[in-house]
Structure 1
Amino acid sequence: MSANAHGHTVAAWTGVTVSFVGFMLAAVAMVYSVPVLVIIGLVVAAAGAVVGKLMSAAGFGKKPTNHTLPAAKDTVSSSVSA
C-alpha cells in the first residue's frame, strides 16, 4: 500500500489531525462528565472529514493520475471448420 502514496498528502494529514483533536476533546470531556464538550468534540471530529475533503478539492490532495488501460486484444478465435 505504500507504493501508491495513500494518505500522504497535506489534506489527509490535516483531516486526520482535526479528527484526532476532536476525539481527544470528546474523550477527556467524557471522563470529566461534561456532555456539552463531548458533543463539541464529536462535531470537531466530524469536521475533520469535511476539512480534508475541502483541502483536497483546493489542490492539497493527491494529484489525479491519467492511467490508461491497454487496448483489449481479441483472444477469441473462430475455429469452425467446414
Structure 2
Amino acid sequence: MSDDNEPGHGNSPAAWVAVVIMLIGFAVGTLAFWFDQPLIVWISVGVVVLGFIVGLVLAKLGYGVKGPRYTPKPHS
C-alpha cells in the first residue's frame, strides 16, 4: 500500500499550523455567534482568513509537503 507518489495529504507543518489557527477561529466564532457577539464573529472570520494566509506563507517558505524544509516521518 506504500506509494512513493503519494502527495502527503497535507501532513506538513504548514498544513498543521493553518488548520489549528482556523479551528480556533471557527470555535471562537461559533461561540460568539451563539452568544450574539457580532464583532467577535467578524474577528473570528479574520482569524480563519489569517490561518489560510499563514499556511500559504509557510508552504512558500518550504514547510509544505514538497518543501525543502519538510522531512516526512515514516508511517508505522
Query: What is residue 10 of structure 1 aligned with on the other side?
Result: 13
CA–CA distance in structure 1, aligned partners of residues 64 and 7 of structure 2: 13
Query: What is residue 43 of structure 1 aligned with on the other side?
Result: 46
Offset of residue 59 of structure 1: 1.1
TM-superposition CA deviations, 1:5-53 (whole Å, max 9, x none): 1101000011111111101111000111111000001110111110000
Q: Does 1:25 align with 2:22?
A: no
CA–CA distance in structure 1, aligned partners of residues 64 and 15 of structure 2: 7
Between Structure 1 and Structure 2, how many residues are aligned? 63
Larger radius of gyration: 1
AA at the equivalent of 1:43: G
Q: TM-score, normalised by structure 1?
A: 0.71
Sequence identity percentage: 30
Structural RMSD (CA): 1.5
Gapped regions of structure 2 (runs ≥ 5): 68-76
Gapped regions of structure 1 (runs ≥ 5): 65-82
Query: What is residue 76 of structure 1 aligned with on the other side?
Result: none
Offset of residue 4 of structure 1: 2.8
CA–CA distance in structure 2, aligned partners of residues 45 and 14 of structure 1: 12
CA–CA distance in structure 2, aligned partners of residues 46 and 23 of structure 1: 11
